Amino acid sequence: MSKLVTIYGGSGFVGRYIARRMAKAGWRVRVAVRRPNEAMFVKPYGAVGQVEPVLCNIRDDASVAAVMQGADAVVNCVGILAESGANSFSAVQEEGAARIARIAAGQGVARMVHLSAIGADAASDSAYARTKAAGEEAVLRHMPDAVILRPSIVFGPEDQFFNRFAAMTRMGPFLPIAAAGTLFQPVYVDDVAHAAELGVLGQAAPGIYELGGPRVASFRELMETMLGVIQRRRIVIGLPRWMAGIMAGVLDMVQFVSFGLIANGILTRDQLRNLARDNVAGEGMRGLDALGIAPTDLEAVLPDYLWKFRPAGQYAELMRSSRKLRP
């Protein structure tokens, strides 16, 4: 019988790519999610019955243990960018990661891959970064041979970075951003999934890997690259930190007073704290090269999914070609 991997958060942005790769490698894949009915799109990744979404709440021991039964490997892709209700940073990124690792150790699971993030730091003033670090510590405490992946900003067709800002360009001539000078090292989603696959297969040495693409660029430079791809002229405005802080505080307050009914999906104070630090792979850290993975260039992929934000959409290239034919 083929081996089984349980992927927590396997229908998310990165998780779905890992699920696809593991199915292609011949593994049975159990995709553990809160809403299995919304994850049915993963089933065609493999043969009938090879990839199955299953109900799981990583805040509950019994739930985590049930979907791990019989697994040869586990992957934890669960993470949040903003807190909402019971899904706090601590509950999801620290306690959730610790729970999965502890139960995996108890069940004798051979391998674990944990998705963290560049910037994980126990001393950070950001709750996101602190809980990422605490989650890593807990994973290594229970599963010392785990593979921990820390990607920079992850890009790909379903990303919430370039898609989000490209959509904002439809609203007017200005594109406001906070921390315009912060450096990023965008990494392609399938390169991250490839690294996770190697971890599951036992072809990656245990420990921490910081994953970044071939290009380091500031937030502003990335937005200018995006604007070139979507063929729109917009003025990129770098918001002063004090102004961004006021905006984030107001948006956080709106979420608080509405008891979460109006979620702050724009900019939180914690995200602003994170943006104060560069998001690039650390010097001397193992990365994609240590895994034998050639990083995918940003500009080779962006046109494949950002074309829909061009003024002429799918007809942009056709219109450009037709102009060349005019006498």
Q: What is the pLDDT of residues 239-276, one digit of tens each?
A: 999 999 999 999 999 998 988 888 888 899 999 999 99
- What are the beta bridge partners of residue 30? 6, 52
Which DSSP string do the residues of 79-145 spell out, in sequence order? --SS-BTTB-HIIIIIIIHHHHHHHHHHHT-SEEEEE--TT--TT-S-HHHHHHHHHHHHHHHH-TT
According to DSSP, residue 70 is labeled T
Model confidence over 45-54: pLDDT tens digits? 999 999 999 9
Model confidence over 204-231: pLDDT tens digits? 999 999 999 999 999 999 999 999 999 9
Instruction: Give the CA-trace dihedral at 283, 288, 289, 294, to 10 degrees.
Output: -130
**SS3 of 51, please?**
strand
**SS3 of 313, please?**
helix
pTM of the model: 0.94
- What are the beta bridge partners of residue 155? 188
* Domain extent listing, the chain: 4-155+186-213+279-291
Contact by Cβ (8 Å): 290, 149: no
Task: Give pLDDT, residue 324.
Answer: 59
Model confidence over 162-217: pLDDT tens digits? 999 999 999 999 999 999 999 999 999 999 999 999 999 999 999 999 999 999 99
Model confidence over 142-158: pLDDT tens digits? 999 999 999 999 999 99
- Tokens (6 digits) for 246: 């006021």
**In the structure, what pLDDT confidence band is assigned to residue 314 with cuts at 50, 70 and 90?**
low
**In the structure, what pLDDT confidence band is assigned to residue 137 with cuts at 50, 70 and 90?**
very high
Mean of per-residue pLDDT scores for the chain: 94
- Tokens (6 digits) for 317: 């290239």
Task: Give pLDDT, residue 319.
Answer: 59
Fold of 4-155+186-213+279-291: Rossmann fold (3.40.50)
**Confidence check: pLDDT of 97 > 70:** yes
Exposure string of 251-285, with b = 16+ CB inside 10 Å and e = fewer, is bbeebeeeeeeeebeebbbbbbbbbebbbbbeeee
**Confidence check: pLDDT of 135 > 60:** yes
